[in-house]
Amino acid sequence: MGGRINTIMQTCFFAISGVLPRDEAIEQIKKAIKKTYGKKGDAVVQQNFAAVDGSLEHLHEVKYPNKVTSTIHRLPPVADNAPEFVKEVLGPIIFAHGDKLPVSKMPVDGAFPTATTQWEKRNIALEVPVWDPTACAQCGKCAIVCPHAAIRQKVYDPALLDKAPATFKSTDAKGYKEFPGAKFTVQIAVEDCTGCGLCVESCPTKAKGTLTMAPQVPLRETEPANWDFFMSIPDPDRSKVSQGTVKGSQLLRPLFEFSGACAGCGETPYVKLLSQLFGDRALIANATGCSSIYGGNLPTTPWAKNAEGKGPSWANSLFEDNAEFGLGMRLTADKQHEYACELAKLLADKIGAELCEALVNADQKTEAGIAAQRARVAELKAKLEGDEDPKAKELLSLADAFVKKSVWILGGDGWAYDIGYGGVDHVLASGRNVNILVLDTEVYSNTGGQASKSTPRAAVAKFAAKGKELPKKDLGYIAMTYGYVYVGHVAIGANDAQTVKTFLEAEAYDGPSLIIAYSHCINHGINMRNGLAQQKLAVDSGLWSLYRYNPDKIALGENPLTIDSKEPTKDVVEYAYNENRYKQLLKLDEARAEALMKKAVKDVQKRNTLYKQLADLDYSMSKED
């Protein structure tokens, strides 16, 4: 039953209370189980029956003393070395004592600090991964799929190991040409890990025991100190990292960590990747939904900052206006940059013509270019500090606007396909340089599993109890018809390298981009540890195509559509009936289930045929001189 205790506690209550005769109560409980869970399959029913029988078998009286004799005390809500605000304000809220806080303790502007989930140390996992450096391929696959950023990797100077704890593990770095002679470590935050096992499932050398699950409690003795030492190791120079590879991208520090998302969540690996690649200069508009709840739910915040104090600026807006909210961020950043350029030119004699020219026309297409611009901004601030000229003061306040901002608008399919679709379409049509990330679970996940326009045909969801009659809306195809929108269709469990490439291309494109990311979900009715395998099966069956539509290719006379997935090698039925959202319809109405599934297979075939035809179109006439 995993962490579920409702069936167990109900059984114990009726067995002890005498409200009903014991045998009658157990009989009624089992009837209720069959009625409630029957549509999810016999396996789920039998699991609950076994839980009932096991509860009765192990039910026994516990003798406890009439006074407190234990010397065990409850752990504090946050770590001892947490900042003052975290200990004095967030800690009491975590302990459900928030109503005792005086108003004077609360931030006057309502803004809460970021990077605070790191202080919770929830210790919820029964088992956590253990790393064996001798068998590791150093591929980065475990780190990129971790939903909570609890497993990370670094390369570093071997001299730093002189101060390492005795149990800290390391090995020689392999395949990092930009860091010759470096050491390499994969480190697990055992107190923050949820024990989902996705890292183990993703490991290409798991047969060799590179990552194995082990009981968490004994590892609390050594691993917190190892984690603290690991985090004290300086992050590598971003300008030297090969960010276009999976292993390279995972050397970048996640600026989204330890969220409250489900164990094994399919959404958060994409959010975390966004934070690694662009987080130190990102402005994020987050639609209400799962991502806004695990992304900004009080009291702690998973959006974080790097060693320099830089990190994403994040805000949540509603379903109906989040896209426009994010567009406003883009317009504001552009206007601030425009005005800063005007002021710099007016003050060119004061700040220096050379610095003015460099600031206004900086090439910020690479990490090295962005680093160089930040150095110029620091020089500008030094020159303007203390200057009483009103224009100089204005320019000083806008100096950071010279650094390229990466604007991201993100949310789920309920937002992007349904309630917020009008806004999404408006923002894409604007032509502005914004990036939209759709975390596509194909259902309203946060509100209990209602059908959306993204829900595939034949899947069961709330408001589609007899299986969805109509096919899934093709949001990517709609966006491609504009001709000037970058569109990416990704599934990190099927092709992590294509996912990284898509994110980098989308952000580099000087115009609107849309990334639609397959996100397995607990509402699909799967074992979340198998989520990555299910993503791969979705791609292998042709149900979820991997592609990139890059409008920059049109001017070169090339077809903008690149299909990255191969011809289907699996049946759609094999994918679908791994999930209870499809399988339960077989129990309710087998004939309808089979009829809808035939149509669903046809949907896949028609869409894939259409995409092949689009990818074969000749664009040579579009080549610009």
Average pLDDT of the chain?
95
Task: Say yes or no to pLDDT of 74 above 90.
Answer: no
What's the pLDDT score for residue 3?
74
Task: Say yes or no to pLDDT of 268 above 80.
Answer: yes
Task: Say yes or no to pLDDT of 395 above 80.
Answer: yes
**Domain with residues 406-622, CATH architecture:** 3-Layer(aba) Sandwich (3.40)
Average pLDDT over every residue of 270-282 = 97
Work out the pLDDT band at 110, boundaries 50, 70, 90.
Answer: confident
What's the pLDDT score for residue 548?
98
Average pLDDT over every residue of 71-92 = 91
pTM beyond 0.85: yes
DSSP state, residue 103: G
Quick: pLDDT tens for 414-453.
999 999 999 999 999 999 999 999 999 999 998 888 999 9
Q: How far is CA 245 from the centre of its chain?
A: 18
Strands 513-518 and 486-490 turn out to be: parallel
Work out the pLDDT band at 41, boundaries 50, 70, 90.
Answer: confident
Side-chain-side CA neighbours of residue 518 (13 Å):
27
**Domain with residues 74-112, CATH architecture:** Irregular (4.10)
Cross-strand partners of 130: 212
Quick: pLDDT tens for 282-317.
999 999 999 999 998 789 999 999 999 999 999 999
| 64 Cβ neighbours under 8 A, 6+ residues apart | none
Residues 220/193, Cβ–Cβ less than 8 Å: no
DSSP state, residue 5: -
First to last CA, the chain: 65
What's the pLDDT score for residue 43?
84
What's the pLDDT score for residue 112?
86
126: left (phi over 0), alpha (psi -120 to 50) or beta: alpha
Work out the pLDDT band at 464, boundaries 50, 70, 90.
Answer: very high
H or E stretch at 474: none
Residues 454/349, Cβ–Cβ less than 8 Å: no
Query: What is the C-alpha separation between 113 and 303, in angstroms, rounded?
Result: 9
Q: What does 213-248 look like in DSSP terms, one character per residue?
A: EEEHHHHTTTHHHHHHHHHHSPPPPGGGS-TTSHHH
Q: Tell me: domain 114-258, CATH 3.40.50.300, correct?
A: no
Q: What are the domain boundaries of the chain?
A: 6-58, 74-112, 114-258, 325-345+354-402, 406-622
The counts of H helices and E strands in the chain are: 25, 13
Work out the pLDDT band at 42, boundaries 50, 70, 90.
Answer: confident
Measured CA angle at 512 (ends 508, 516), to 5 deg: 90
What sign for the dihedral angle of Cα 194, 495, 519, 258?
A: positive
